[in-house]
Structure 1
Amino acid sequence: MIRHMGYYLTEETGMHIEELVTKIQPLSREIIDAAQKRFDNLIKPVGSLAQLESMTTRYAGIVGSSDKKLVVIPETRLLLLWGEMKHTAEIEAAMLQKKAVSVFASHVNARVIPLLVIGETAYDLLEEGAMLTGEYIAEEKAGLICLGTCEKELRPDWQDLLEEEDGLALLERLQCHPVSAMTGSILQAAGMRIPVMLDGVASCLAAFAAARFNPCVLQYCFAGDESAEPGSAGLLEKLQLQAPLRLSLNNGEGIGALTCLRLFDAGIKAYTEMETFEEAGVHNEKEDYSFKVQEDKNKQGRRNN
């Protein structure tokens, strides 16, 4: 491996995607349900935090516990910014903190890691992306990664390729080096039980391809922003991911993912810092807030619809 100008260029990797894919395990439904039960019993209307709750309960599943002492905001977060040789100038600008993503990263306690990949085949890029991600997660002790890319031009017919059922074949047909590397990155993060915040069509395509290798990988992925790029909404629907933000961004450089970290953190804070009725020593719930009343309202609403 060669370190060049602060980022890595790799000549070979020491791991294999086939091996990595087998390590990705589904999240515990029991833990997610237990986390949701805590949210439902907080002193607030049931379900009032909407997507903040669903993000946090899934994060609890990734952490492997619903204990509020263990469901904590990740101290170290990385934005892995992927590019290839044609993006050298942008990668260098990111290294010098001359890109907007650096400013956004500083506000959410994240570090931008510019990565320039040199693999020639989709398989090589998968392994390169996985290896680099694994090294940086371990080196930085990261608890969450965001994905961004300098790539702004995907082949115009990319939506026609989504019927391809083989992940590697999909990447070979897509012919986008950063997307192939990000696919490996997502697989590696999921294998290490690290949440991934997506941003823009390119990273969502990587998640789509990663799910062709192991569908469980999507349980570790969060959509930060529904970008203004063509096909973004449809792709998120296929991934069954809902982005809490619509910032009308026209690229997937990472700004949407970084901005969403504020909401991600807010959900965790509510989970850990708000009290349940029992914790507050309140034995009789305020009727409007009670779980039973809220459940009855939800059932009535469904009947009316």
Structure 2
Amino acid sequence: MSVFASPAAFAAALADLSAPDAGAIAAARARQAVLTKPRGSLGRLEEIAVFMAGWQGRERPAIGQGRTAIFAGNHGFAVHGVSAFPVSVTAAMVANFAAGGAAINALAGAAGMDLRVVALDLDRPTADFTAGPAMSEAECLAALNAGAEVVTPDLDLLTLGEMGIGNTTAAAALCTRSFGGSAADWAGPGTGLDARGVARKAMVIESALARHADAPNQAFETLRRLGGREIAAMAGAVLRARALRIPVVLDGFITCAAVAPLAVQAPGIVDHCLAGHCSAETGHVRLLARLGLDPLLSLNMRLGEGSGGAVAVGVIRAALAAHAQMATFDEAGVAARL
């Protein structure tokens, strides 16, 4: 059964966002206050532990079952030369994921995360969004539901990523429509465009924005007109995770752009999300600021594939280990609080 049976069902889910467990947050903060360390001395790690406690609904959160979900899709606007690589690379990389040879295979394994790769009609790219909507309503709903399907109630943490030649173009278009500015403000080199290529990308985005200027400024319409199957799938996964109160780690520019239209309509959509890292892609710093997210890492990464989010899981695991395993002052027999 589809989670998002219609655009109205998607809008209803976006209007009814769950909240973290206030009792678990209070209990986690109380525990932090009595651990054998000066209060606040573990900095952001303490905040992560409390964040995870609230969404998992327990004083001592843990990652027993974590999943990295990667969605792949192709884009019709690629005919305009907005990428340094042909669309055939998308399928080739999906095959590499399946063979275990990609960076995300290694990084998800190192993070102790179950890896799921979902290829979405790679032989049928979305329509060219400069000529019309990228997807029909049915196609967009199918992509949203493909994302929702990977989110199961047993998960303690979900990280998201993507693969799709040209999809920094779609991401920049979503950001421009959602948060304003010009296409040139959001368009970057992606997988290696030179200055002329970036300028061409910005022109393609401006053409698409003009084509859809009169479209309703609603999350579903923005996604279906300017997004892609893999981008809509990530949006669906984020929204489904929120319904199940599962914390989410967002990867780079494209993953964060997937929630941009949702954030315009429901700013609290990212309350259950952590930004895994700040990528080197143009626009990601600005996008994180608009979403109100402070990235855990800044390693000059720009690979995609959910790679930055997977690396950030190590930081989250460290935060939870310190929170759960440290002794309290009473347990350690330390009389004086630091």
Matches of residues 110-189 of structure 1 in structure 2 within 5 Å? 110-118=113-121, 121=135, 123-124=137-138, 127-138=141-152, 141-151=154-164, 153=166, 154-155=168-169, 158-163=174-179, 166-189=218-241
1:238-278 deviation per Cα after TM superposition (whole angstroms, max 9, x unaligned): 11111121111123211111111111001001110012213
Alpha-carbon separation, structure 1, partners of 2:173 and 2:235:
19
| Match in the other structure for 2:91 | 88
| Count, aligned residues | 272
Residue 163 of structure 1 deviates from its aligned partner by: 3.0
| Match in the other structure for 2:39 | 46
Change (3 A) 1:62 1:123: farther
Paired residue for 1:244, among 282, 296, 300? 296
| Match in the other structure for 1:295 | none
Q: Taking every aligned residue pair, what percent have the same amino acid on both sides?
A: 25
Letter in 1 for 2:42: L
| Match in the other structure for 1:75 | 64
1:177-215 deviation per Cα after TM superposition (whole angstroms, max 9, x unaligned): 322221111101111111111111011112222334533
Please state whether the residue corresponding to 2:330 is helix, strand or coil.
coil
Letter in 1 for 2:102: K
RMSD over aligned CA atoms reads: 2.7
- Residues 164, 230 of structure 2: 8 Å contact kept: yes
Alpha-carbon separation, structure 2, partners of 1:281 and 1:122:
65
Paired residue for 1:203, among 255, 262, 275? 255
Alpha-carbon separation, structure 2, partners of 1:60 and 1:229:
32
Alpha-carbon separation, structure 1, partners of 2:149 and 2:228:
23
Residue 127 of structure 1 deviates from its aligned partner by: 3.4
- Residues 144, 232 of structure 2: 8 Å contact kept: no
Matches of residues 271-290 of structure 1 in structure 2 within 5 Å? 271-285=323-337, 289=338
Alpha-carbon separation, structure 2, partners of 1:20 and 1:160:
24
| Structure 1 segments unaligned to the other structure (5+ residues) | 2-9, 290-305
Alpha-carbon separation, structure 2, partners of 1:125 and 1:213:
21
Alpha-carbon separation, structure 2, partners of 1:129 and 1:190:
17
Residue 13 of structure 1 deviates from its aligned partner by: 6.8
TM-score of the pair, normalised by structure 1: 0.79
Alpha-carbon separation, structure 1, partners of 2:72 and 2:138:
15
Please state whether the residue corresponding to 1:105 is helix, strand or coil.
helix
Paired residue for 1:35, among 4, 17, 28? 28
- Residues 167, 209 of structure 1: 8 Å contact kept: yes
Alpha-carbon separation, structure 1, partners of 2:71 and 2:141:
14
Please state whether the residue corresponding to 1:279 is helix, strand or coil.
helix
Letter in 2 for 1:169: E
Please state whether the residue corresponding to 1:137 is helix, strand or coil.
coil
Change (3 A) 1:31 1:13: closer
- Residues 82, 150 of structure 1: 8 Å contact kept: yes
- Residues 32, 58 of structure 1: 8 Å contact kept: yes
- Residues 174, 261 of structure 2: 8 Å contact kept: no
- Residues 101, 254 of structure 1: 8 Å contact kept: yes
- Residues 81, 114 of structure 1: 8 Å contact kept: yes
Letter in 1 for 2:71: W
Asked if 1:56 corresponds to 2:54, the answer is no
Alpha-carbon separation, structure 1, partners of 2:227 and 2:273:
23
Change (3 A) 1:55 1:122: farther
Paired residue for 1:256, among 271, 291, 308? 308
Residue 146 of structure 1 deviates from its aligned partner by: 0.9
| Structure 2 segments unaligned to the other structure (5+ residues) | 75-86, 127-133, 181-216
| Match in the other structure for 1:292 | none
Change (3 A) 1:262 1:125: farther
Alpha-carbon separation, structure 2, partners of 1:27 and 1:126:
29
Residue 145 of structure 1 deviates from its aligned partner by: 1.3
Please state whether the residue corresponding to 2:117 is helix, strand or coil.
strand
Alpha-carbon separation, structure 2, partners of 1:51 and 1:102:
27
Letter in 1 for 2:52: Y
| Match in the other structure for 2:277 | 225
Change (3 A) 1:50 1:208: farther
- Residues 104, 259 of structure 1: 8 Å contact kept: yes
Change (3 A) 1:182 1:44: same
Please state whether the residue corresponding to 1:35 is helix, strand or coil.
helix
- Residues 140, 223 of structure 2: 8 Å contact kept: no
